[in-house]
Amino acid sequence: MDWLLLISGTSDPAYNMALDEALLENASNFGQPVLRFYDWTEPCATFGYSQKIDQIEATTKLRPLIRRCTGGGLVPHDGDWTYSLTFPRDHDWTALPAAESYRRVHALLQAAFQAIRMETTLADCCRRPKPGECFEGHELHDLLWNGKKVAGAAQRRNRFGLLIQGSVQPLGDWSHQDWIDALAGDCGLLDTLPETRANELVTTKYSLDSHNRKR
């Protein structure tokens, strides 16, 4: 894949969400899709931009709670494998219907699991979760292992391009590093980060109650 790879290590929840948005804003400057892997300094949860904070607080005991810029429901980050993909606005993925870009990203994850001898399937139907709980059911094209949802994703399209934020919830003794290597393939390395913009988004958006509790 003609993509760039960013393994950004462990950061606090607000910065993780801020960097994803900063990568989206700078997608055209990079000129190629960016595949990012990242971890968390503490257990937390993120939730979709349109979700109601009262419902989210009642659903999980994880704190802090950070409102994503993408859609979707509640995602617990407590041992999950987290990644994001950003595409510049002129990339063909950006023009895809949401359902197709969702299918494509999970097909890539499925291939990476197959490379490490883990057999997963793409859901061909839906099993509705409880309100706000992203991993308690599954949607079309979610990634399943033995019938259980193990990967989901959320998207945002805007004038900058396309951002996909995804989480894998491992259920067994799975090798995270082997999976990363299989998914990343021979991607080149991203050699510059929009850190100034990410830090600005931390202080003006993702660390503020006015953002995280806005609905």
Residue positions annotated with a catalytic role: 134
Measured between alpha carbons, how far is 84 from 191 in angstroms, rounded to an integer?
Answer: 17
* DSSP secondary structure letter of residue 199: H
Beta bridge partners of 189: 5
Contact 75, 56 (CB under 8 A): no
Residue with tokens 């999970």: 106
Q: Give the strands of the sheet with 75-77, arranged side by side.
A: 65-67, 44-47, 75-77
Q: Are strands 188-189 and 4-11 parallel, antiparallel or unpaired?
A: parallel
**DSSP E strand boundaries for 41-77:** 44-47, 65-67, 75-77
